[in-house]
């Protein structure tokens, strides 16, 4: 969900996990001139066609081929991963974005999937406090953003995409603690 805390959570995890990098879907938006406009005059940013998804997939594959030299990994080893031994050979890539599970070429790549949710009112309130370029036009949230969120959420649920739902109204500390612990458990399983 928009304004659910995806980027904040990813940045905090990056500081806590060994050799961790982030690829953000927001870095792959097409320029405004290439984004379609609907009959109401809304720029259609909350759809896959507004993004260079092939470039994003390419960036992820480049990281997988060579995580240490990818440019998205933190330069120094983070030593906060007390629950794992020999973390120097562990590389973690966090991919964060709002339409990750609706793009088929990505669905084979995930070890874990998390999905932040927010109730409509809280999401709208948070969205109203953010400044976007271009700025949200009146009615944009109700006319485009929220309907697209519901559409894509329903789409991946219908496709039985397995995700861990996270309540975006919980504190950042609660969310961070849960996801960090879950990732550590996943790493331990992968190493066994």
Tell the residue number behind the tokens 């984004």, with chain if given: 35
Reduce the DSSP state of residue 24 to 3 states and report it.
Answer: strand
Give the span between the Cα atoms of 67 and 166, in whole angstroms: 27
Catalytic residue among 26, 49, 54, 167: 26
Give the span between the Cα atoms of 126 and 7, in whole angstroms: 14
CA 28-145-162 angle, 5° bins: 70
How far from the centroid of its chain's Cα atoms is residue 137's Cα?
24
- On whether the CB atoms of residues 67 and 93 are closer than 8 A, the answer is yes
Rg (CA), the chain: 17
CA 18-21-22 angle, 5° bins: 140
Does residue 182 carry a catalytic annotation? no
Of 178, 120, 172, the closest CA to residue 145 belongs to: 120
Give the span between the Cα atoms of 81 and 87, in whole angstroms: 8
Catalytic residues: 26
């Amino acid at each position: 969900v928009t304004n659910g805390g995806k980027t904040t959570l990813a940045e905090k995890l990056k500081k806590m996990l060994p050799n961790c990098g982030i690829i953000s879907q927001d870095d792959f938006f097409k320029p405004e001139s290439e984004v379609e406009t609907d009959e109401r005059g809304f720029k259609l940013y909350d759809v896959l066609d507004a993004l260079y998804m092939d470039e994003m997939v390419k960036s992820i594959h480049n990281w997988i081929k060579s995580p240490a030299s990818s440019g998205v990994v933190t330069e120094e080893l983070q030593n906060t991963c007390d629950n794992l031994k020999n973390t120097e050979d562990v590389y973690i890539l966090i991919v964060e974005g709002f339409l990750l599970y609706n793009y088929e070429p990505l669905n084979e790549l995930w070890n874990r999937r998390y999905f932040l949710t927010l109730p409509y009112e809280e999401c709208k309130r948070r969205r109203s406090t953010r400044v976007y370029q271009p700025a949200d036009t009146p009615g944009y949230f109700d006319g485009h953003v929220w309907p697209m969120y519901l559409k894509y959420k329903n789409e991946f649920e219908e496709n039985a995409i397995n995700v861990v739902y996270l309540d975006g109204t919980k504190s950042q500390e609660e969310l961070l603690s849960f996801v960090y612990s879950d990732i550590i458990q996943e790493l331990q399983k992968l190493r066994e």
